[in-house]
Structure 1
Amino acid sequence: MSPTLAIMRRELRSYFVTSLAWVFLVIFLVLAGLLTFYAGDFYERGLADLQPFFAVHPWLYLILVPAVSMRMWPEEARDGTQELLLTLPVTLRQAMLGKFLAAWLFLGLALALTFPLWITVNYLGSPDNGVILAGYLGSWLMAGAFVSIGACLSTLTRSQVVAFILTALVCVLLILAGQPQVLDFFQGTLPRRLVNGVAHLSMLRHFEAISRGVLDLRDLIYFLLTILAWLAGGVLILELKRTR
Structure 2
Amino acid sequence: MRILVCIDDTDNLDSLGTGELASILAQDIEEKGWGKSGAVTRHQLYVHPDIPYTSHNSSMCFATDLNDEYLNPFLQHAADFLTRKSAEGSDPGLCVLLPEQLKGKDKLIAFGLKAKKEIITKEEAYNLAQDLHIHLSEHGGTGQGVIGALAGIALRLYGNDGRFKGKFKIKSEKGIASVRDILAQSRIEIVKSIDGTVLAEDELVWLGDTVKAVLLEGRCVLLVTPIEVSQAEGIHWQTCSKQLLKNY
Comparing both structures, which one devotes a greater share of its residues to helix?
1
TM-score, with structure 2 as normaliser: 0.28
TM-score, with structure 1 as normaliser: 0.28
Higher RCO, 1 vs 2 (CA within 8 Å, ≥6 residues apart): 1
